[in-house]
Structures are given as structure tokens and as C-alpha cells.
Structure 1
């Protein structure tokens, strides 16, 4: 199980912008640590899933770990469920990724799909408990609900008596179902959609009916819940609905990471989707605490966990969330600040305390340009930095500069880690 180097695989969620943007957040950010890694490394670019695919984080991360998501992907819902510590009774339970949302209960018009990002994890936990084990009143149906972080949750629709199918639409109008993958809708009406079957099977029809029953019952319960009454008193949006998307009915099956790379592999993550991927693909999965809002404390904590993991493992994948949300919100300055915080409190101290023979990959799981406010299919920058590996001419970690680096452009994210492993890590 010997490798020439240990490897830190650092992924900055949504850090990239568009190559065509006049100026990107990576270009504007002050990030001496990341730029140093690029200056003394080999740089390139990568389409994290493929050209023309604006990936969601789950399929992007699966790809970054070296798996073709088209071969192993079973939907976002099961991954989030595993990340939240839930099991799935395959054939009789369908897992959905879910958000608490704010709607007009009389018309089902969506006021805010994420409750203004103001819902606390504790509030969400209480709301989820009010819905957990809900009897749906048909087909032996029931719902299991678990809150995760902030406005996010997992909903499992099950039946005690009937087989179910993941081939159903989302009730979230912002995302359209394309097989087992959801893609951002270019235009949509801001109303909760009726869940409809995507194929002409009894299983899909029953699943859609149960999901719609859950949606209606959830609104009735949540709208009057004491948490929401208190939020209204404080002038905050109520979390009085749940939007569902990304149904899946089985757990992905693939060669475990430890076996694939013949080494001890760890995944460090804070969000349920990355936690779920780590667990499903057989890594030693280390759950990071949710961010506190204090970047110095949060990144010092993450760096400490990273260095401990490196001492015990050969490859350590670390996923840092910071830049993605301000990209979705179109906030260029805040996204720039988030990148600068990662550099100041994680990357620079890492370089100061870098263990010997530690190689580093830095990249992003996708682009989330503030100019677009959603994920795009643009290539993301990549750098590989290791002692004894001659650098190229690139002097900064930016989209345009890395694109011209000597690593070249990877057409698919699943090519990156196996290529680096073969060329630089394997004895």
C-alpha cells in the first residue's frame, strides 16, 4: 500500500466562474497561498462531469473521486439520506433531497425556496420531527423526515404494501428531472408543482400520489407550527412547506475508494451530500461540524482535522463549502471574501505546517458564477503541487491562467485523480 506521496485533495465548492467573465472572483481575490501552490505546481483545467453538463455537487464529487457518474449514479436523494444517517428499504422507499420553503398556503405560490436562508438547524429539526413518521393515508404510505443543515432536509416516502419507483418529477419548479439527474430550469413559474410519474408504471404513479399527499399534509402541519408562529412574530419568513427533488430508490454500488486506489482514503466533509458520498464509496468519512460563522475558527478546526487525517491516511479529500452560496446569490464581493478566508485561515497555515512528501491537488467541483447565479458547465482550474515535480509557467490560481497549464484540459472530472495517481503517486 505504498505511495510516493501522501495526497491532499482540496475541493473549493463552486469557486470557479466563467472563462468568459470579464473578471472572476479568483482573479480579484487576494489569495497568496493558492497562488503559491499554482506557481510551484502543474496547472490545468477540467470539465468536472463533461462539456455541456452544469453539474450538481453530487455527480460532480462522484466524478472528482474517479467514477463516471453516468455508470453509478442513482439520484441525489439516496446520497443525502446516507449522509444524514438514514437507511433505505430498496423497492419500498424513495429518498428525496428536500428544502424547507416559504409559500402562500392558499395558492402554493413560492415566496422563497430556502426560507431566506434564515432557518436555523434547530428550528428545522423541530419542524422535521412534526412530519416524521407521517401516515399518508393511502397505499400503506408513510414519510420519514430528517433535517440536516439550515433549511435542508431529507424526505423518504415509503409504502408498507406497494413497490415504489424513483421515476417521478420534482415538486420544486426550479429543477427539471432528466432521468435520475435534475437540471436548473431556465424559466419557471414560482408555484409548488404537482409530482407526476415520469414513466407509465404503477410504481411511479403510486410514488407520485404519495409525494403529493405528503406535500399537502406537510403544508397543513407546518403552517400552524409554533416554530413558524414565532418566526412570524419576529418578522421572519415561515418555513411552511417542503420542496422535493432528485428522487432515488437505491444506494450507488461501486469499487470502494480504498480498493480503487490501493490505499487508505479519507473524506472530510460538512454537508450531507459529500458525507453520503464518502460513506457510500467506502472512505473513512470524517464529519466536520457545521460552520459557526467565524471563518478563523471554522477553518482552523478544518485544518486541524485535515492534518490529523493526513497522519493516518494516504489520500485525504477535503470539501470546503464557502464560495458556492454567494455565487448562487449573485454576490461577487462576498464570494471573493469567502475565497480569501479559505486562503488566509486554511491554505496559508497548511503551507506553513505542510508535512514532508505531501502532494496537493486544488480544484473546484463546478463553477458557480455570480454573473449566472447557478452552476455552469465551465471548466474549473486544477493544480497539482508536489516536491520534486517541476512546475509550469502558471503563476496564479485562476481560471484563465490554469487553463493554459501543462496538465492540459481534462474532458471529464473522473479522469483527474486516476491520472495523477498513475503518473505521480503509485510506486
Structure 2
């Protein structure tokens, strides 16, 4: 009797692809050649680091500069790049370079990988995404070299410039400053701060938005509705977040900083906590209000189809618009002279609900292992949102908590809802539907 061939859908293929990437990266980082002391890392620690890099999170158990050799740093950089662009995007790039035909199944998987709305033109969109990525990272590295090379020498300065450019555009949050305190040592430096912020924003917009920007330019009316929502909400969150941090932290994390430096630190904090993972202010010094604002921004995250994570700014926008329509007793949810379809709204509610439950589950596990509630919740949102900010508990996580955070990073990068769909069987829609009945809500 012939064996039944297992057919994987697009979501399952993506999930397994990322899992394979993490395992391969973990094996390489566990090699003695990857560590400066010549000793092999514990495999769980190496796997955790590989997951953090592949899922462009930035939570680390060891300082990247002082623990890893040039080989180990190169492995981390490669994992960040492939994880940020999506392994399927990289495989399509190889296929294009080798002039191989790209089938319907590959195009279907690619739709989920880059966040496209339709299969038509998906290869063109992927090529454009690759060009945008390389252009932004190249320009960012060149500008950062103007600051790094005079301070670290030409060779190391160029490597650090490239590493930080890729890490920023991919919203990864890994750094090579060797301080163990992210970018706090360069908090008052305008050039690297502004360049890193610009790269984080460019990577967090998403490739669909870049497609509209390059195709239609300033003709906003021709943009997709998705692009309009992402750009508007991103701008609002950036300006509002920066203003809030400026006033909330002037007597706390930004105490002693002049107005100019405080404004730069506030802007950086507003940008980076929406999935980038860098920080120029000590997070343990944040006020209670500033910590809560950071967690809210981490939860929201970047745009769908971008290198960033989180519940996604466009998804949260749909929820708020739907709630506003309900308050106004409107049957339709309208925005920018367009009506959102019911399926989109239902998917938004489901996605955010699963994301929220994943945060609570991770928080519960860490609390059971002795981590305080505020630090555990902060760490859980940071992991599922693939942000990478931490209040200092990551290097001291117990084994079970490490594994839990690893799984949350994986779910956050692939998509909490996508992971849930990947482990469930596809069932045909029943021809007969149950009788509807109302229940009380609210």
C-alpha cells in the first residue's frame, strides 16, 4: 500500500522553514569557533541566540561583541538578514539568479512571507523588496561608517557599520558596542541615532508600503488602503510616543540630559520600542508610566509584511476603528473613504486575541519560576512582539523560561495566529450551518 504523501500548506512551510533556520543557526553558534573563549556554548543557549537573531528579536543571553568571534557574529548577521527578509524571499532571490521557474506553490508561500495581498505580481514585489532592503542597508552602513570608522578603525568600523545597519533595518536590536547595555553609551550622538532610527522606521513600514511609495510617490490617493493606514498610524505613534517620553522621563530615565539630548532620546525610545530592541536609556530607570507606554508600543509593533513584529500597527488600527464604529452605532467600518470587509475585522480580532493570550501564557510561566510580574510581562511582550528590550532578566532566565521565551519569539516572527493555524488541520467548510443565536456582550 503506497504511503500517503504529507502536503504542507503555506503557513506550515513557513513555520518549518524558520524552525530549520533556527536549528541550523543554533548548531553553528554552539561550535567552539563561534565563541571567543574557544568553548562550546550550551546548545539551548546557542539555540536561544539563533532564535533571537532569526526572529529579529534581540534578546540575548551573552553580549554579542564580547562572547562571539567574527565567525559567530557573521552567523548572527546572516540569521538576522534571512530572518528579516524572510527565508522564502531569499530562496526566491536564488531562484531568480539561477533563472529557475517559480511555481504557484512557491508564489503562495511567498505571499505569506512578504505579506502580499494577492498572488499577481508577487515576484516583482519580492524583487523590489530585495532592492529596497539592500539600498537602505547599504546607505545606512555608509552613513554609520562616518561615525564608526574614526573611532574603531577602518576594518572594524566598516564591520560594525554593516552589522548595525542590517540589525536596524531588520528591527533585530543586536549591537557590537560591547557594553552589555545596548546603545546607552552613544545616547547623545546625533548621527548614529538618527541613522538607526531611519533604518528602523524604513524596515518597519513593510514592503507593500514601499511598493506604493516607489510606484506612486507623493500621490497618496493612489496608495493601497493598507499603506495609508500604516503610514498614518506610524507617524502618529512616533510623534505621540516621542512627546510622551520627553515629558514622562525628564525626571527619571532622561534626568540630567539637556533639552536637545532629551528630545533625541525620547524620539529614539519612541521608534525603537516598536520592535527594534535598541535602547539609549536604561530601561530599569524608566518611570512606571514610561514602562507602561513602552509595553503598549511593544505590543502594537510595526506594519504587517515588514521586518518588525508586534500585533501590527495596521491590525490594532482596525480594532480601534471597529470599536469606534460600534460606539457611533455604525454598521460599516470606514476609513479613507473605503469600507473594511467583515473578514478583515474578524481576522484582526482573532490575531490580537491570540497574541494577547501568548503574552499572558509566557508571563505565567516566568512568574512560576520566580520572576516578578512586571519584569515577566515586559519580557513576554518583548519576546512575542520580537522587540528585544529587557529589564535585565534575560541572562538569568531558568531553563524552562528560556525555552518559553524561545517559543514566543518563534511565534512572534512567524505570527501567533499562523503558528496556531500551522498546528491545526485544514477542515472543509460544512455545508450545513448551525442556527445563529445572540448572547449578551459587554
TM-score scaled by length of structure 2:
0.23
TM-score scaled by length of structure 1:
0.24
Of the two structures, which has the highest relative contact order with CA contacts closer than 8 Å and spacing of 6 or more? Answer: 1
Answer 1 or 2: which has greater strand percent.
Answer: 1
Answer 1 or 2: which has greater helix percent.
Answer: 2
